[in-house]
Amino acid sequence: MATFLDILLSIIFGGALLLIMLTANTIVAENTATTYGDRLVQESLVAISQQVEGDFKNMGFGVPDSHRVIVVAEQNRIAFRIDVPPFGSVDTLTYFLGPTSDLSSTMNELDRYLYRRRNTDAAEPVGVVTAFKLDYVNSEFQKLTPPVTNDSLQRAINSVEITIEVQTSEALSRNTDSLAAGERNALYSSAVWKQTRLAAQNLDR
Protein backbone atom coordinates (compact mmCIF):
# COMPACT_ATOMS: atom_id res chain seq x y z
CA MET A 1 0.00 0.00 0.00
CA ALA A 2 2.80 2.39 0.93
CA THR A 3 4.53 1.63 -2.38
CA PHE A 4 1.36 2.43 -4.31
CA LEU A 5 0.99 5.76 -2.47
CA ASP A 6 4.62 6.59 -3.17
CA ILE A 7 4.09 5.92 -6.87
CA LEU A 8 0.89 7.97 -6.92
CA LEU A 9 2.55 10.90 -5.14
CA SER A 10 5.51 10.69 -7.51
CA ILE A 11 3.16 10.87 -10.50
CA ILE A 12 1.32 13.87 -9.02
CA PHE A 13 4.49 15.78 -8.13
CA GLY A 14 6.12 14.84 -11.43
CA GLY A 15 3.10 16.07 -13.38
CA ALA A 16 3.03 19.31 -11.40
CA LEU A 17 6.76 19.83 -12.02
CA LEU A 18 6.31 19.14 -15.75
CA LEU A 19 3.44 21.63 -15.92
CA ILE A 20 5.57 24.27 -14.18
CA MET A 21 8.43 23.66 -16.61
CA LEU A 22 6.14 23.91 -19.64
CA THR A 23 4.60 27.12 -18.32
CA ALA A 24 8.03 28.59 -17.61
CA ASN A 25 9.22 27.71 -21.13
CA THR A 26 6.15 29.36 -22.62
CA ILE A 27 6.73 32.52 -20.59
CA VAL A 28 10.41 32.64 -21.55
CA ALA A 29 9.61 32.12 -25.23
CA GLU A 30 6.91 34.83 -25.11
CA ASN A 31 9.22 37.30 -23.37
CA THR A 32 12.01 36.61 -25.85
CA ALA A 33 9.69 37.12 -28.81
CA THR A 34 8.27 40.30 -27.25
CA THR A 35 11.75 41.73 -26.65
CA TYR A 36 12.74 40.98 -30.25
CA GLY A 37 9.48 42.46 -31.52
CA ASP A 38 9.94 45.60 -29.41
CA ARG A 39 13.37 46.16 -30.92
CA LEU A 40 12.04 45.71 -34.46
CA VAL A 41 9.18 48.20 -34.08
CA GLN A 42 11.41 50.76 -32.37
CA GLU A 43 13.94 50.60 -35.20
CA SER A 44 11.18 50.87 -37.79
CA LEU A 45 9.55 53.78 -35.97
CA VAL A 46 12.84 55.68 -35.76
CA ALA A 47 13.37 55.37 -39.52
CA ILE A 48 9.81 56.46 -40.33
CA SER A 49 9.74 59.36 -37.86
CA GLN A 50 13.07 60.73 -39.11
CA GLN A 51 11.74 60.84 -42.68
CA VAL A 52 8.43 62.42 -41.65
CA GLU A 53 9.98 64.92 -39.24
CA GLY A 54 12.56 66.06 -41.78
CA ASP A 55 9.94 66.83 -44.41
CA PHE A 56 7.46 68.40 -42.03
CA LYS A 57 10.01 70.72 -40.42
CA ASN A 58 10.99 72.04 -43.84
CA MET A 59 7.51 72.40 -45.35
CA GLY A 60 7.30 75.73 -47.12
CA PHE A 61 11.04 75.89 -47.81
CA GLY A 62 11.69 77.66 -51.11
CA VAL A 63 7.99 78.45 -51.58
CA PRO A 64 7.08 82.04 -52.55
CA ASP A 65 5.14 84.02 -49.96
CA SER A 66 2.23 84.29 -52.37
CA HIS A 67 1.73 80.51 -52.33
CA ARG A 68 -0.22 78.65 -49.68
CA VAL A 69 2.01 76.03 -48.03
CA ILE A 70 -0.51 73.41 -46.87
CA VAL A 71 -2.92 72.45 -49.66
CA VAL A 72 -4.58 69.38 -48.06
CA ALA A 73 -5.14 69.09 -44.30
CA GLU A 74 -6.97 65.90 -43.36
CA GLN A 75 -6.70 63.64 -40.34
CA ASN A 76 -4.73 60.91 -42.15
CA ARG A 77 -3.54 62.82 -45.20
CA ILE A 78 -1.57 66.01 -45.77
CA ALA A 79 -0.16 67.72 -48.84
CA PHE A 80 2.21 70.67 -48.65
CA ARG A 81 4.53 72.66 -50.88
CA ILE A 82 8.28 72.44 -50.43
CA ASP A 83 11.45 72.62 -52.51
CA VAL A 84 13.15 69.22 -52.19
CA PRO A 85 16.30 67.94 -53.95
CA PRO A 86 17.07 68.56 -56.73
CA PHE A 87 16.37 72.12 -55.67
CA GLY A 88 15.07 74.88 -57.89
CA SER A 89 11.34 74.27 -58.18
CA VAL A 90 8.31 74.15 -55.90
CA ASP A 91 7.21 70.59 -55.24
CA THR A 92 4.16 69.14 -53.52
CA LEU A 93 4.69 66.33 -51.01
CA THR A 94 1.75 64.19 -49.97
CA TYR A 95 1.69 61.81 -47.01
CA PHE A 96 -1.24 59.43 -46.71
CA LEU A 97 -2.30 56.05 -45.35
CA GLY A 98 -2.83 53.16 -47.70
CA PRO A 99 -5.60 50.59 -47.27
CA THR A 100 -5.17 47.60 -44.95
CA SER A 101 -5.78 45.40 -48.00
CA ASP A 102 -2.24 46.21 -49.17
CA LEU A 103 -0.98 44.01 -46.32
CA SER A 104 -3.81 41.50 -46.09
CA SER A 105 -1.28 38.65 -46.07
CA THR A 106 0.04 39.61 -42.61
CA MET A 107 -1.44 38.45 -39.32
CA ASN A 108 -1.95 42.00 -38.04
CA GLU A 109 -5.27 43.27 -39.38
CA LEU A 110 -4.38 46.91 -38.61
CA ASP A 111 -1.06 47.36 -40.42
CA ARG A 112 -0.82 49.34 -43.64
CA TYR A 113 1.68 51.38 -45.62
CA LEU A 114 2.35 55.04 -44.94
CA TYR A 115 2.93 56.53 -48.40
CA ARG A 116 4.89 59.57 -49.57
CA ARG A 117 4.31 61.03 -53.01
CA ARG A 118 6.21 63.84 -54.70
CA ASN A 119 4.11 65.81 -57.17
CA THR A 120 2.44 63.31 -59.51
CA ASP A 121 5.10 60.61 -59.15
CA ALA A 122 4.14 57.15 -58.01
CA ALA A 123 3.61 56.97 -54.26
CA GLU A 124 6.40 55.25 -52.36
CA PRO A 125 5.95 53.50 -48.99
CA VAL A 126 7.76 55.18 -46.12
CA GLY A 127 7.10 52.22 -43.83
CA VAL A 128 4.46 50.00 -42.30
CA VAL A 129 2.33 51.62 -39.58
CA THR A 130 -0.88 50.94 -37.72
CA ALA A 131 -1.73 54.61 -37.13
CA PHE A 132 -0.89 57.96 -38.72
CA LYS A 133 -2.91 60.80 -37.23
CA LEU A 134 -2.55 64.52 -37.83
CA ASP A 135 -3.89 67.41 -35.74
CA TYR A 136 -3.71 71.02 -36.88
CA VAL A 137 -3.17 73.86 -34.41
CA ASN A 138 -3.52 77.61 -34.94
CA SER A 139 -1.44 80.40 -33.41
CA GLU A 140 -3.74 80.48 -30.37
CA PHE A 141 -3.00 76.78 -29.70
CA GLN A 142 -6.52 75.76 -30.70
CA LYS A 143 -7.02 72.57 -32.66
CA LEU A 144 -8.76 72.91 -36.02
CA THR A 145 -11.24 70.20 -36.94
CA PRO A 146 -9.99 68.23 -39.97
CA PRO A 147 -10.45 68.30 -42.84
CA VAL A 148 -9.39 71.93 -42.93
CA THR A 149 -10.70 73.01 -46.32
CA ASN A 150 -11.27 76.75 -46.14
CA ASP A 151 -8.36 78.76 -47.59
CA SER A 152 -8.26 81.19 -44.66
CA LEU A 153 -8.29 78.31 -42.16
CA GLN A 154 -5.44 76.55 -43.94
CA ARG A 155 -3.42 79.74 -43.74
CA ALA A 156 -4.22 79.83 -39.99
CA ILE A 157 -2.45 76.49 -39.38
CA ASN A 158 0.54 77.30 -37.23
CA SER A 159 1.74 73.81 -36.34
CA VAL A 160 0.96 70.15 -36.88
CA GLU A 161 0.74 67.38 -34.29
CA ILE A 162 1.79 63.96 -35.56
CA THR A 163 1.06 60.58 -34.03
CA ILE A 164 2.52 57.42 -35.55
CA GLU A 165 2.15 53.88 -34.23
CA VAL A 166 4.04 50.83 -35.44
CA GLN A 167 3.23 47.22 -34.56
CA THR A 168 4.76 43.93 -35.58
CA SER A 169 3.11 42.23 -38.54
CA GLU A 170 3.19 38.83 -36.85
CA ALA A 171 2.16 38.03 -33.31
CA LEU A 172 2.07 35.46 -30.57
CA SER A 173 -1.20 33.64 -30.14
CA ARG A 174 -2.95 34.14 -26.82
CA ASN A 175 -4.91 31.72 -24.75
CA THR A 176 -8.55 32.66 -25.34
CA ASP A 177 -9.30 31.91 -21.69
CA SER A 178 -7.02 34.78 -20.66
CA LEU A 179 -8.59 37.40 -22.93
CA ALA A 180 -10.50 40.26 -21.37
CA ALA A 181 -13.50 41.80 -23.07
CA GLY A 182 -12.50 43.68 -26.22
CA GLU A 183 -8.91 42.40 -26.29
CA ARG A 184 -7.37 41.09 -29.49
CA ASN A 185 -6.55 37.38 -29.64
CA ALA A 186 -2.87 37.99 -30.37
CA LEU A 187 -0.01 39.91 -28.77
CA TYR A 188 1.74 42.54 -30.91
CA SER A 189 4.79 44.58 -30.03
CA SER A 190 3.94 48.26 -30.39
CA ALA A 191 5.74 51.62 -30.36
CA VAL A 192 4.23 55.10 -30.61
CA TRP A 193 5.89 58.36 -31.69
CA LYS A 194 4.08 61.60 -31.04
CA GLN A 195 5.55 64.93 -32.08
CA THR A 196 3.51 67.60 -30.35
CA ARG A 197 3.04 70.82 -32.26
CA LEU A 198 5.75 70.42 -34.85
CA ALA A 199 6.10 73.96 -36.14
CA ALA A 200 7.59 74.36 -39.59
CA GLN A 201 9.93 77.34 -39.81
CA ASN A 202 8.40 78.40 -43.15
CA LEU A 203 4.76 77.67 -42.36
CA ASP A 204 3.75 80.93 -40.74
CA ARG A 205 3.24 83.37 -43.59
Is the pLDDT at 1 greater than 80? The verdict is no
Q: Delimit the domains of the chain by residue range.
A: 2-198
- List residues bridging with 131 in a β-sheet: 165
pLDDT tens for residues 60-100? 888 888 888 999 999 999 999 999 888 888 999 999 999 99
pLDDT tens for residues 127-152? 999 999 999 998 888 899 999 988 88
Q: Taking the alpha carbons of 195, 201, 202, 205 in that order, is the dihedral positive or negative?
A: positive
The pTM of this model reads 0.78
Which band of pLDDT confidence, cut at 50, 70 and 90, is reported for residue 122?
A: very high
